[in-house]
Amino acid sequence: MSTDTDRFARFRPRWNELDWQLIRTGAQAPELHMALDEVLTYEVGSGHRKPTLRIWEWASNAVILGRFQSVRNEVDPDGAARHDITVMRRITGGGAMFIEPQNAITYSIYAPDSLVRGLSFIDSYAFMDEWVIQGLRSLGVEAEYVPINDISSTAGKIGGAAQTRRGGAVLHHVTMAYDMDPAKMLEVLRIGREKLSDKGSVSANKRVAPLRQQTQLPRQVVIDRLVETFADLRGLTGGELTTDELTRAEALAKEKFLSDEWRYLLP
């Protein structure tokens, strides 16, 4: 481990005191993913569910806005309609993600908030993703964490994390670019000048370095390696969603995450 991560030395053993479960299902609708994150965070916080790593598979295209983003400021409505994009809002802050099912690698970690106790919000981002940096490096990607919440490499940005602490749990989720269509992304997302003011470039697509280009490996092979890395470092047992969790998430997806009131919370 580099000196950059040594400050986590006394916190790192906490991972291995937890009994980690893996959830990896078939493709699910964007609104169900949003709802599962909310339901599973509270389930872990209340102790009903063990700490969990969930690997996502997407059933359709989507733009996932951060909790505090304005639809109008981030999404081009014509581009979104043209490319069959559903606009969703997640419960965590951070920036918009442009999702095409086979281009994204997404996961969530749900843990008791004792895992990150004593760490600042900013440090807890890098702490929650140390394993993924290690997994990417094992694939030959020169990955590093760029605070606050970027997973990056010498070739460019790979992905971003978002986090929230509630109900006694921490939710940490990440989307990485496996592949991307920069032209399509720029038709769908509005990237403003101020946003890029400290990036040294006004070209959004120059900043992204998808994992396909960096590894030349199939998407599932990359995901498998990341899961193996988590299992090796932290321990991981196969698990599944309970009927109750799924039923509640389906109801929440419909009542909250598909509602205009939530999606256009900040119009």
Partner 1 sequence: MPLHGEFKQPGGKLVVVDLELRDGYLAEVHVSGDFFLEPPEALDDIVAALTGTPVDASEDDLATRIDEALAPDAMLIGFDARGVGKAVRRAVTDGSPRERL
Residues near partner 1 (CB under 8 A) are 66-70, 73, 91-96, 121-122, 147-149, 162-166, 190-195, 197-198, 202, 266-267
- Least Å distance between CB 162 and partner 1? 7
Residue 82 near residue 50 (C-beta atoms within 8 A): no
Of 24 and 207, which has the nearer Cβ to partner 1? Answer: 207
- Least Å distance between CB 149 and partner 1? 8
Separation CA 175–CA 260 (nearest Å):
24
Of 118 and 140, which has the nearer Cβ to partner 1? Answer: 118
- Least Å distance between CB 186 and partner 1? 9
- Name the packing angle between helices 30-45 and 243-252 (round to 10°): 120
Q: 229: which 2 tokens?
A: 């890395």
State the Cα angle at 123 between 122 and 125, rounded to 5°: 75
Measured CA to CA in angstroms, residue 144 lies from 40, 56, 135, 168, 189 at distances of 28, 22, 11, 29, 26
Of 30 and 94, which has the nearer Cβ to partner 1? Answer: 94
- Least Å distance between CB 75 and partner 1? 12
Of 95 and 239, which has the nearer Cβ to partner 1? Answer: 95
> Which residues, 6+ apart, have CB-to-CB distance to 6 below 8 Å?
none
Of 13 and 267, which has the nearer Cβ to partner 1? Answer: 267
Q: For 11, what's the count of Cα atoms within 13 Å in the CB-facing half-sphere?
A: 18
- Least Å distance between CB 101 and partner 1? 23
Of 117, 122, 148, nearest to 10 by C-alpha is 117
- Least Å distance between CB 116 and partner 1? 12
Of 122 and 251, which has the nearer Cβ to partner 1? Answer: 122
